[in-house]
Structures are given as structure tokens and as C-alpha cells.
Amino acid sequence: MNMDEKKQTVKVSILGEDYPIKADADRSYIVQIAKYVDAKMKEVADRVSVHSPVKVAVLAALNIADELFKERLDKENKLSDIEERAQSLLQWLDNKIIEEEL
């Protein structure tokens, strides 16, 4: 079975336009993402005086990219914090083992 045979086409509506999306992801996942993009585009369209769908799409894409970058940074900060705590715990355990051996 090749890659195209595993893919399905899901019709989604974004900002009033229908798009056939061909993907191997679950249908409900594709619909969920399309609804998110639609909501972001409507949010931008309601906030700015730009009526060009292309400009709305670009501004929405920038907003979504901003969210992604902030989430990645938050994840990196949390991972760094966990690594620091793990290192501190290992050092504490090493010290306790040395104390027990004395």
C-alpha cells in the first residue's frame, strides 16, 4: 500500500471557503484543526479593517506561529527546569551515599 492509498480527503470550510484536505490523519483531527484556523481567521477579520482573505490568512498565520513559538519556549523552559531539578536531586543522592559510606 503506497502513501496515497492511506490518505483520505476531508472537506473543510475556512472563512466561508470549502477546501478538500487530503491527509492520512484522522478525520476528526483534520476537522478540529480546520475549525481552529477558521476561528483564528475570523478573529483577525473581526479585529482589523483588512478584507482581503489573503491578508487575513497571513495575519492569522502570524498569530498561530506566535502561539506555537510561545508554547515551544514554555516547553523548553519547563524541560530546563526539570533537568536542573533532576541534577540537583542526583547531587543530593550522591552526597547522601557518600555520607552513608563514611
Is the predicted pLDDT of residue 65 greater than 70, yes or no? yes
Residue 99 pLDDT grade (very low, low, confident, very high; cuts 50, 70, 90): confident
| Residue-range domain boundaries for the chain | 3-101
Q: Decide: residue 15, CB within 10 A, 0-12 exposed, 13-18 middle, 19+ buried.
A: middle
Mean pLDDT score of the chain: 93
CA distance 32 to 96: 51
CA distance 80 to 98: 27
- This prediction's pTM: 0.76
Residue 3 pLDDT grade (very low, low, confident, very high; cuts 50, 70, 90): low
**pLDDT at position 71, please?**
98
Residue 5 pLDDT grade (very low, low, confident, very high; cuts 50, 70, 90): low
Phi, psi of 11 (to 5 degrees): -90, 125
Is the predicted pLDDT of residue 102 greater than 90, yes or no? no
Is the predicted pLDDT of residue 18 greater than 80, yes or no? yes
